[in-house]
Amino acid sequence: MTTPVVIPQASPLENAFRAFNGAMTSELVQSPADFGLGHAPARLIPDATTTVVCGFCSTGCGLNVHLKDGVAVNLTADPSYPVNLGMACPKGWEALTPLDAHDRGTTPLMRSDSETLQPTDWDTAMKMFCERFKDIQTKHGNDSVAWIGTGQIAVEEFAFLGALGKFGMGMKHGDGNTRQCMATSAVAYKESFGFDAPPYTYADFEQSDVLVFIGANPCIAHPIMWQRVLRNPNKPEIIVIDPRCTETAMNATQHLGLKPKSDLVLIYGLANMLIQNGWIDRNYIARSTTEFDAFAEFVRQFTPDTVAAQTGLTVGQLYRCAETIHHGKAVSLWWTMGVNQSHEATRTAQAIINLALMTGNIGRPGTGANSITGQCNAMGSRLWSNTTNLLGGHDFKKPEHRAKVADVLGISEDRIPQEASWAYDQILAGIDSGAIKGLWILATNTAHSWINQKSVRETFAKLEFLVVQDMYPTTETAQLADLYLPAAGWGEKEGTFINSERRYGLLKKVRRAPGQALSDFSIFRLIAHYWGCGDMFAKWSSPEAAFQILKQLSAGQPCDITGIEDYPMIDRCGGVQWPWPSQMPDAGCRMPDAERRLFADGRFHTPDGRAKFIFEQPRPVAEPTTPEFPIVLLTGRGTSAQWHTNSRTGKSAILRQLYPANVYVEINHDDADRLGIEPNSPVEVASARGRITATAFVTGTVQPGTVFMPMHYPETNKLTFPAFDPYSRQPSYKHCAVNLTPL
Amino acid sequence: MDPGCLNGCPVLAYEKDPVTGIVRHLDDQCIGCQYCVMKCPYEVPRYSARLGIVRKCDMCTQRLEVGEAPACVQACPNEAIRIRIVDVAETLSIFRPPESPARNGHKNGTSGVDGRITFNPFLAGSPNPRITVPTTRYKSAINPDVMLVAADAAALRAADPHLPLALMLPLSQLSAGTMAITAQLGTPAHLKAGTTAALVVMAVALGIGTLHLGKPLRAWKAFLGWRKSWFSREAIAFGLYLKVIAALTALLWLKPDLLPENARPTAFGFAAFLGLVSVFCSVMLYVDTRRRFWSFGRTCGKFFGSTIILGLAAGTVLNPSQGVWTSVVIALIAKLALEFEIFTSLKPGGHFELRRSALLLTGHFRKLSITRLAFGVSGGLVVPALVLAGLLPMNPFTGLVATSLLMAGEVCERVLFFAAVAPDKMPGGITT
């Protein structure tokens, strides 16, 4: 007999003593909320809704913001948006919460003689900004002032920033935190395809029959993209190439758990195996590529045995992977930071591109060599930040490009520099060498996120004037500022973001910024006025007016968007992918297809129209392990509830419940046993640059001899080693040597 | 299917829907005693400090009623959550199979002894599903035979010390112990002093206990759940005991003639019995949560141990003698020995749940554990030894000193009783 479970019902007498209703009960009583939202509690019933593209990662989800008297009170994932189809990750669901944080900046703050930042008004702040920077430029030359921007503000905003900084204020050097995430992909695509053009659309996740993820963990880093993978009806083979057994690797059909930073060797080995077995698309290679023969000759040295030895994999694993790619009808290859943040990142990304080219897996549904971007507007930054590229993917070095931009903007051509800016690390080195004396940082947290963080703080101490423009004056970087400018956040301003699949999405103002905080766009207008170059930017009267200028700049470029009429069109279409030129072949149909990919015709943006095989001999890592520091430290994203330096996600009580409060280090069981480290005990992690204390998390997901630490905690980058890819100048966060000691 | 929250609620603030089985909470009925929080192995009911009541998930009943997706279903990016009506008989047969009835402990349940995880048919690393017969199903492609350990399996979390309860319980046990020794002594003077003391202490105990409630004005409803809830039974016993000793005290002070000499042993014996019943109800209240650190043996030992020690201590005030002082020493040593039993779990092979408590006691609560020992030893060994050696006078004042020290020790012990309980819980993430 199964033990019966008897729940006694209350007797009528007992029921007389029970309060079924009252004030507390009615707090949660729901009523229909309209707008297709279903039932909701009274305080959350909206009177209107509108779609806003999310401001965290590059997936670019549509969030349906619920408005009450014009103010956002809640949000849900938008089921009609083509990106996320009604889904959102924890960050998206909590997108409004960081706006309400008690430590929002509400006035400009300046450091006079005192140690602390003191509130001031915009007039004083703007005068200080202009006087100090002009003073430095007078003494040390125009190039002695630089900026470090971000991938978190709107397209119109960093186009304005780039134009103002270079054409208005005469700066030469400006870069963004996108250097830390996407620079590699930009350089790789540019060299291989002739333009920084990620070819894919998210539908490819659903249309592949083989998906290869290299240094990518979408389960955690891009959960909505992973959700698209889960919708794939083809029972796809999922191959994950990652030294860690990540959440994505656990869901893979093949996990190649290679040794850290042996990825380039592995991919060359796979290429060789494909060539040796004749598993390549000779027609496509002949029609659409160049340099294949040299490449084939080059990869002959990567024999299965040498590759197996160098990667720690078996020949069988390699063969099975190559064979799977060969059998795939639509193979897509995806990479993220595991590739991009490497000492040989650009060549690794290009090795992936080579795999796609040689197997003809490009330009068809479900294919592509696809870089998954990091920040919400990293793609926008690549085209519009006016740092490495002249506005709109143009080239500072080309006179015809300078002339075109000068003409559209109505400025004199000689205001446009003839070469690109220094990269992020070069700007910091410039501060060290004394070449740069004034720095303006926007919406990024260098003092937390930069590789080998300690050196950054020492570097900033050498500056004569540091301005930080951010939502919060409490970030590690803002705390070092001489002048802090309070910026409006996502949801408090207008503009566009470009997501990973090249989709322009619309950002809308659904909240008022607190106190005197202003949108970055308005701050730039203010600076232009105080600097005395307001006339030059008279046409930049609003984000949408700026968008119209950018459209003109894009004309004739691979990223042409002249066919996008205005913001309402972007809204109507659920975002619009570039390119969308006004002379589109299927013009007349004014609504672009919801999902479009590039290179269907096998023509690329290079002068000869062919994609190029680019390759180079692999190089050893910058900081190999030593007897003193025998363990490899990998860093990366910790949970889907954390975003970068946690300046925003740390403000949500709900998100805080979803991730560990303090820094931890993932250690393999074997290492823990050998070193006497107990689970959940404190452990010291030391590198040649610093030592920190973290909680040991003993797990089988990291290999013996490696440890993993999430990047969201301020301790992590005290340990990392400042190595850079020579082509993209992207920092190599994924490899440095450390030691562990139980405490 | 057998919800701990509902079974434990003293005010019938839970309703189980006969069709869907969804357990709903009546917010305006709740007194904020948080007993459901202790009773639920899955931490579903949560206390709201803002409202002074507990709230729990009702599976968005109001949305389900009109065919809308609950919030969690809508929010999950991987479409991993589905809500449907379960097969009652099938669920019972999984978690309470016929061969081993529900009472028979944790055999097929949860995290086993050190280094060995026994198969849990509900979810690896989760609490014993036999306790409440949960209807949630975790479906995974991962082979269930793979040994899975929660990410926070090695994490130690201090629990709420529930200070009002940690004071109320030893005080109520002091009262019950005092009443018992008073009834034993039986002389009119002892009865008057002892019963009065028991009354005052019990009144203070209940006063402090009320501070534990989020909504004390609703506390009068606490008897409603008497059919299932040991909280209700404790409340009824406490109330009855208080009223009886209050009546006796009033009689002794105002109309002693109404209480004839020959009726006194029965009357005061009954009062003492009610006191002990109250202590028993307190014991069962915690035993019924099925936490190992609060097992019947351990809780009985602690609660009745306190009753005996503090009762004997009261004896040293009311009627000091060599015998009663000696008994204090013996009782204290016995109780400390019982309390030390938990540290045997530190040895390899110790049960995870008890091991966590022992580690908390020796680690996080090391100072408090030492303080507890110091109070106990000074009140129950040092002072009695000095009295028995003739170095301290054997008078009520010395008795009062010993009682205070012992009481302080028992309060520390009770804080640790609450704060070091570490039941199995749902697997959680990395804890730092």
Does residue A120 register a pLDDT over 60?
A: yes
Q: How far does the CA of residue B359 sit from the closest CA of chain A (Å)?
A: 13
Do B2 and A5 make contact, defined as CB atoms within 8 angstroms?
yes
pLDDT band at B200 (very low <50, low <70, confident <90, very high): very high
* Token pair listed for A601: 């015709």
Residues A357 and A449 both lie in one domain: no
pLDDT at B10: 97
Count how many Cα atoms sit within 13 Å of the Cα of residue A669 in the half-sphere of its side chain. Answer: 3
**B61, B78, B108 — which closes off a domain?**
B61
Residues A14, B18 contacting (CB under 8 angstroms): no
* pLDDT (0 to 100) of residue B115: 41
Predicted pLDDT at B109:
39
Type and span of the H or E element at A87: none
> What does the pLDDT average to over A310-317?
98
Q: What CATH number is attached to the domain comprising B380?
A: 1.20.1630.10
Same domain, A365 and A216: yes
Instruction: List, for residues B10-34, the tens digit of each pLDDT value.
Output: 999 999 999 999 999 999 999 999 9
Domain boundary among B12, B28, B61: B61
Neighbours of B64 (CB within 10 A): 17
Per-residue pLDDT at A588 exceeds 80: no
Q: Shortest Cα distance from A567 to chain B (angstroms)? A: 28
Tell me if A396 is assigned to some domain.
no
User: Minimum mean pLDDT among A31-35, A47-51, A135-139, B392-396: which range?
Assistant: A31-35
Average pLDDT over residues A248-265: 97
Residue in B closest to A694 by C-alpha: B432
* Residue B432 domain-assigned (yes or no): no
| Mean per-residue pLDDT, B104-127 | 59
Examine the domain organization and report whether B243 and B381 are in the same domain. Answer: yes
Q: Which two tokens stand for residue A571?
A: 């809204």
pLDDT at B118 over 70: no
Q: What is the DSSP letter of B108?
A: T
The answer to the question of residue B134 being in a domain is no
Query: Would A341 be classed as within a structural domain?
Result: yes
DSSP string, A11-75: PHHHHHT----SHHHHTT-EEE-STT--EEEGGG--SEEEEEE-SSBTT--EEEEEEETTEEEEE
* Single-letter code of the amino acid located at A314: T
Alpha-carbon Rg for chain B, nearest whole angstrom, is: 24
Last residue of a domain, one of A345, A371, A397: A371
Interface test with B, best of A248, A680, A698 (most B CBs within 10 A): A680
B252-279 b/e with 16+ CB inside 10 Å = b? Answer: beeeeeebeeeebeebbeebbbbbbbbb
User: How many Å apart are CA A117 and CA A106, to the nearest integer?
Assistant: 13
- pLDDT at site B145: 65
Same domain, A217 and A174: no
Whether A329 and A454 share a structural domain: no
Instruction: List pLDDT tens digits, range B325-364.
Output: 999 999 999 999 999 999 999 988 778 899 999 999 999 9
CB B142 within 8 Å of CB B155:
no
Both B52 and B178 in one domain: the answer is no
Same domain, A455 and A524: yes
Q: Is residue A145 part of a domain?
A: yes
Structural domain contains residue B92:
no
Indicate if B57 and B191 belong to the same structural domain. no
* A chain contacts of residue B13, beta-carbon cutoff 8 Å: 18
The Cα of A22 is separated from the nearest Cα of chain B by a number of Å equal to 6
Is pLDDT of A1 > 90? no
- Do residue A334 and residue A220 come from a single domain? yes
Q: Kindly report, residue by residue over A173-186, the tens digit of the pLDDT.
A: 999 999 999 999 99
Of A178-182, A188-192, A469-473, B202-206, which range is least confident? A178-182
The CA-based angle A632-A638-A643, given to 5 degrees, is: 125
pLDDT grade for A606, boundaries at 50, 70 and 90: very high
Tell me the per-residue pLDDT of A430-468, one tens digit each, with 9 for 90 and over. Answer: 999 999 999 999 999 999 999 998 889 899 999 999 999
Q: What percent of chain A has pLDDT over 70?
A: 98
Q: Do A2 and B93 touch (CB under 8 A)?
A: yes
Mean pLDDT in residue range B111-137: 76
Residues A353 and A468 in one domain: no
Tell me chain A's radius of gyration from C-alpha atoms. 26
The residue from B18, B41, B61 where one domain ends is B61
Contacts of A572 (CB under 8 A, 6+ apart): A591
| Paired strand residues for A174 | A147
Choose, out of A697, A708, A743, the residue to mutate when testing the contact with B (most B CBs < 10 Å): A697
Residue of A296, A294, A292, A289 whose CA lies nearest to A272: A296
**Gap between the Cα atoms of A528 and A523, Å rounded:** 9
Residue identified by tokens 């097929």 is B108
B292 inside domain: yes
Classify residue A207: in a domain, yes or no: yes
Tokens matching residue A637: 């994203």
CA distances from A626 to A52, A683, A717, A737, A739 (A): 50, 20, 20, 7, 9
Q: Any idea which of A389-398, A582-591, A631-640 has the lowest mean pLDDT?
A: A582-591
- Domain count along chain B: 2
- Asked if residue A164 and residue A223 are part of one domain, the reply reads no
Give the domain CATH number at B31. Answer: 3.30.70.20
Angle at A416 between CA A411 and CA A418, to 5 degrees: 155
**Contact state of B63 with A662 under an 8 Å Cβ cutoff:** no
Asked whether residue B74 is domain-assigned, the answer is no
- Judgement on whether residues B264 and B390 belong to the same structural domain of the protein: yes
Mention every residue, 6+ apart, whose C-beta is less than 8 A from residue B345: B351, B354, B355, B357, B358
How many other CB atoms are there within 10 angstroms of residue A20's CB atom? 12
Count of domains observed in chain A: 3
Residues B410 and B262 in one domain: yes
Distance from CA of A97 to the nearest CA of B (A): 16
CATH number of the domain residue A693 falls in: 2.40.40.20
Whether the CA torsion A708, A714, A720, A726 is positive or negative: it is positive
Question: Which residue, among B74, B96, B217, would best test binding to A if mutated, counting the most A CBs under 10 Å from its CB?
Answer: B74
Q: What is the pLDDT of residue B103?
A: 43
Q: What is the 8-class DSSP label of residue A259?
A: P
Residue B113 lies in a domain: no
Beta bridge partners of A225: none
Domain boundary among A354, A371, A388: A371
pLDDT grade for B79, boundaries at 50, 70 and 90? confident
Cβ distance A1 to B98 less than 8 Å, yes or no, reads yes
Give the range of the structural domain holding residue B297, as residue numbers without chain letter: 163-419
Query: Chain B partners of A87 at a C-beta cutoff of 8 Å?
Result: 77, 79
The shortest CB-CB distance from B431 to any of A89, A639, A680 is to: A680
pLDDT class for B116, splitting at 50, 70, 90? very low
How far apart (Å, rounded) are the C-alpha atoms in residues A634 and B322? Answer: 70
Mapped onto helix, strand or coil, the DSSP state of residue A149 is strand
Amino acid identity at A515: G
Structure letter (DSSP) for residue B61: H
A209, A245: one domain: yes
Sheet with A503-509: strands ordered across: A492-498, A503-509, A576-577
Cβ-Cβ contacts under 8 Å, B1 against chain A: 5
Which residues on chain A are in Cβ contact (under 8 Å) with B77?
Answer: 87-89, 223-224, 226-227
Within this chain, do residues A334 and A459 fall inside the same structural domain, yes or no? Answer: no
Reported as a pLDDT band with limits 50, 70 and 90, residue A591 is: confident
B316 touches B325 (CB < 8 A): yes
Subunit contact A38:B69, Cβ cutoff 8 A: yes
pLDDT for A13 equals 83
| Side chain identity at residue B97, one-letter code | P
Q: For position A422, which CATH number holds?
A: 3.40.50.740
> Hey, what's the torsion of the CAs at A465, A471, A473, A474, to 10 degrees?
-130
Q: Domain range holding A718?
A: 631-742
B79 assigned to some structural domain: no
A203/A121 same-domain check: no
Residue range A612-669, pLDDT digits in tens:
999 999 999 999 999 999 999 999 999 999 999 999 999 999 999 999 999 999 999 9
Tell me the chain B residues in contact with residue A230 when contact means C-beta distances shorter than 8 Å: 78-79
In this prediction, residue B189 has a pLDDT band, given cuts at 50, 70 and 90, of: very high
Sheet containing A145-149: order of strands: A118-119, A109-110, A483-486, A465-470, A438-442, A145-149, A173-176
Cross-strand pairs, A334: A213, A370
Is B367 within a domain?
yes
* A203 & A163 share domain: no
Res. A338 pLDDT band, cuts 50 70 90: very high
Q: Which amino acid is at A174?
A: G
Mean pLDDT to the nearest integer, B223-241: 97
Query: Does position A62 have pLDDT exceeding 60, yes or no?
Result: yes
Long-range (24+ apart) CB contacts under 8 A made by A233-239 are A233/A206, A234/A207, A234/A208, A234/A209, A235/A209, A236/A208, A236/A209, A236/A210, A236/A211, A237/A209, A237/A210, A237/A211, A237/A324, A237/A328, A238/A210, A238/A211, A238/A213, A239/A210, A239/A211, A239/A212, A239/A213, A239/A321, A239/A324, A239/A325
Q: Is A36 exposed, middle or buried (0-12, 13-18, 19+ CB in 10 A)?
A: exposed
Task: Single out the residue of A654, A662, A505 nearest to residue A573, CA to CA.
Answer: A505
Whether A619 is covered by a domain: the verdict is no
pLDDT score recorded for residue B259: 87
Rounded to two decimals, the pTM is: 0.92
In chain A, the residue whose alpha carbon lies closest to the alpha carbon of B50 is: A24
Among B16, B98, B430, whose Cβ lies nearest the Cβ of A2?
A: B98
Q: What is the pLDDT of residue B142?
A: 73
Asked whether the beta carbons of residue A8 and residue B228 sit closer than 8 angstroms, the reply is: yes
Same domain, B177 and B51: no
